[in-house]
């Protein structure tokens, strides 16, 4: 593995520097919404157990009429306006906006000297300690490692590292680029990313 080269702002294509930050905000918001489990649930009055018998007579008791003790106004009753399980949290983000968000996330990292380009990222031994020494050599808090195609040995080496996350080029997105402190990227992937712009 060759020595990582820090990317400078001057080397970035002009389009990376002209993106409005709001694109990144919208993409990250949509990404986080898509991760929601949508499991919040409460029971309505029809789902709560019991309440078959009319609690008291319709007239003559001096109290308001009631047909079931499982009505939302009673303790132990159903919930009137609880969360719905069939709610869809997905938010639409256009293709162009996804690309712009990624450009802005990368440009921010470059501005802070946090993007490193390497000829190739391969841990032939498959050992975690070798991957750890590579990551520690960068002296960064945590690292997103972007490889064109992940091989088995490199995958095994990075799999258990807490301060590094290995992905393939097609998995790179603005959320991951923004979330990690630094990015280490293979030269071929970097050239393709900057050429597309």
pLDDT tens-place string over residues 100-137: 999 999 999 999 999 999 998 898 898 999 999 999 99
Q: Would you say how long the chain is, in residues? A: 197
Mapped onto helix, strand or coil, the DSSP state of residue 28 is helix
Residue 90 tokens, joined: 């997905």
Cβ-contact 137, 163 below 8 angstroms: no
Q: Above 90 in pLDDT, residue 142?
A: yes
What is the band of 197 on the pLDDT scale with cuts at 50, 70, 90?
Answer: low
Average pLDDT over residues 174-193: 93
Phi first, then psi: what are they for 79, rounded to 5°? -100, 135
The pTM assigned to this predicted structure is 0.80
**pLDDT score at 195:** 83
Tell me what the mean pLDDT of segment 139-160 comes to.
Answer: 92
Question: Where exactly does CATH 3.40.1370.10 map onto the chain?
Answer: 5-37+94-196
CATH of 5-37+94-196, one of 3.40.1080.10, 1.20.1440.230, 3.40.1370.10, 3.90.76.10: 3.40.1370.10
- Looking at residues 150-171, what average pLDDT do you find? 92
CA 11 to chain centre: 28
Residue located via tokens 């391969």? 122
The Cα 55–Cα 47 span in angstroms is 18
Q: Are 39 and 85 in contact (CB under 8 A)?
A: yes
Pairing of strands 5-6, 115-118: antiparallel
Structure tokens at 39: 């499991």
DSSP state of 2: P
**Mean local confidence (pLDDT), 85-99:** 90
C-alpha distances in angstroms, 185 versus 66, 69, 99, 118? 68, 63, 17, 6
């Amino acid at each position: 593995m060759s020595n990582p080269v820090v990317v400078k702002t001057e080397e970035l294509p002009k389009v990376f520097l002209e993106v409005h930050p709001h694109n990144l905000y919208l993409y990250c918001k949509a990404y986080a919404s898509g991760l929601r489990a949508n499991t919040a649930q409460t029971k309505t009055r029809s789902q709560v157990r019991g309440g078959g018998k009319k609690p008291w007579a319709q007239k003559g008791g001096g109290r308001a009429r009631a047909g079931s003790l499982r009505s939302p106004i009673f303790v132990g009753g159903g919930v009137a306006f609880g969360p719905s399980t069939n709610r869809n949290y997905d938010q639409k983000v256009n293709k162009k906006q996804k690309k712009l968000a990624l450009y802005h996330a990368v440009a921010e990292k470059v501005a802070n000297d946090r993007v490193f380009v390497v000829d190739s990222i391969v841990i032939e031994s498959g050992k975690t300690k070798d991957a750890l020494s590579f990551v520690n050599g960068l002296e960064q808090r945590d690292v997103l490692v972007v490889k064109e195609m992940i091989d088995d040995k490199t995958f095994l080496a990075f799999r258990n590292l807490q301060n590094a996350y290995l992905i393939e080029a097609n998995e790179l997105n603005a959320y991951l680029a923004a979330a990690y402190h630094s990015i280490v990227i293979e030269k071929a992937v970097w050239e393709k990313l900057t050429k597309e712009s």
